[in-house]
Copies of this chain bind each other. A is one copy, B any other.
């Protein structure tokens, strides 16, 4: 294992420290328990939004804390759910009386711990709503999941629900917006290499020198199949096929196309993936009117990528375009 780290047990704390220091204009970090919160939280009158989960997917989630997106993020240990305690603390820190939305990727530990934290927050008089993200079409159930996994589509939910909260929508409206995005986004990924969890020190799974895994999870959970390496275009076809079949997107529809890097794949490759994915959509008569290419939901240093397609309506477009000021996404203000 070769990583730019100190003691494996300090990875999350030291990375969060560095993150909060580098982005002190946007966030601050708390460490007992650990969470990252907007520097101006709680924002008077605004619904708060908290997300979180195991670390190792940076910039998800802390990189999306800031104006127009999340109010707080709760980073657990690498690939391990945070406990209810920091989730509750983050929920309290962002509550301004308008209620708090939890955006939770669909993994058993995350769902359970966010539920417990929500119950405790409610007992403290904080109104909460929870939206569980399950955009990954690769597999129905998985190692850590009942039902589909939540992956890179989460970022689109966080951006659009975040803009909904920022413009002053109610908790019910923001939660409904998040659910609508989740219902309209589908994702599938591919791994070229495994990744190494620092405290494990070993690759999370094995791939031969000429082998890739189609439908990989963001923790290295098994996908659909291991196959021999193919051309980027053919791999993109394999990822888009189930996405488009499941999403039932049609000629004349508008889409947001997200090409997400898994952490170890360089931009030069992600744009080759984007190029063909955009062509496939155009060939189907779908207009790619919004797009994003970059590392937004990673799996440590894994080489690979995922493709997400969000069926757009005019409200999604307006909220996607709305100003955002976070470490990971920044525009329009």
Segment among A40-48, A109-117, A120-128, A227-235 that sits at the interface with chain B: A227-235
Residues on B with beta carbons closer than 8 Å to the beta carbon of A274: 18-19, 21-22
Residues on B with beta carbons closer than 8 Å to the beta carbon of A21: 274-275, 278
A7, A59, A212, A232 pick with most chain B CB within 10 angstroms: A232
Type the 1/0 row for A255-288, where 1 means its CB is closer than 8 Å to any CB of B: 0000000011111111111111010000000000
A3, A4, A192 pick with most chain B CB within 10 angstroms: A4
Distance in angstroms between the alpha carbons of A301 and B293 in the assembled complex: 16
Determine whether the beta carbon of A273 is less than 8 Å from that of B18: yes
Residues on B with beta carbons closer than 8 Å to the beta carbon of A78: 268
Residues on B with beta carbons closer than 8 Å to the beta carbon of A301: 264-266, 303
Type the 1/0 row for A208-249, where 1 means its CB is closer than 8 Å to any CB of B: 011010000000000000000101110100000000000000
Cβ of A27 within 8 Å of any chain B Cβ, yes or no, is: no
Cβ of A86 within 8 Å of any chain B Cβ, yes or no, is: no
Residues on B with beta carbons closer than 8 Å to the beta carbon of A271: 14-19, 22, 58
Cβ of A298 within 8 Å of any chain B Cβ, yes or no, is: yes
> How many copies of this chain does the complex contain?
2
| Nearest CB of B to A302, in Å | 9
Q: Which DSSP category, helix, strand, loop or mixed, fits chain A's interface? A: mixed
Distance in angstroms between the alpha carbons of A15 and B298 in the assembled complex: 21
Determine whether the beta carbon of B2 is less than 8 Å from that of A212: yes
Say which size band chain A's interface belongs to: 35 or more
Cβ of A193 within 8 Å of any chain B Cβ, yes or no, is: yes
Which residues of A, 291-316, contact B by the 8 Å Cβ criterion?
291-293, 295, 298, 300-301, 303-305
Distance in angstroms between the alpha carbons of A304 and B264 in the assembled complex: 11
Determine whether the beta carbon of A4 is less than 8 Å from that of B263: no
| A2 interface neighbour in B11, B56, B209, B233, Cβ under 8 Å | B209
Residues on B with beta carbons closer than 8 Å to the beta carbon of A81: none
| Nearest CB of B to A206, in Å | 14
Residues on B with beta carbons closer than 8 Å to the beta carbon of A12: 268
Distance in angstroms between the alpha carbons of A315 and B21 in the assembled complex: 24
If A4-B192, A4-B235 touch, does A268 touch B17 (CB 8 Å cutoff)? Answer: no
| Nearest CB of B to A80, in Å | 14
If A235-B4, A274-B22 touch, does A268 touch B192 (CB 8 Å cutoff)? Answer: no
Distance in angstroms between the alpha carbons of A52 and B273 in the assembled complex: 23
11 contacts between A and B (CB under 8 A): A3-B269, A4-B273, A5-B272, A6-B233, A14-B275, A16-B271, A18-B272, A18-B293, A19-B271, A265-B301, A266-B300
Excluding A15-B271, A19-B271, A263-B267, 20 further A-B contacts by CB distance (< 8 Å) are A2-B193, A3-B269, A4-B190, A4-B235, A4-B272, A14-B272, A14-B275, A15-B267, A15-B272, A18-B273, A19-B274, A22-B291, A22-B293, A56-B266, A58-B266, A63-B267, A78-B268, A264-B266, A264-B301, A301-B303
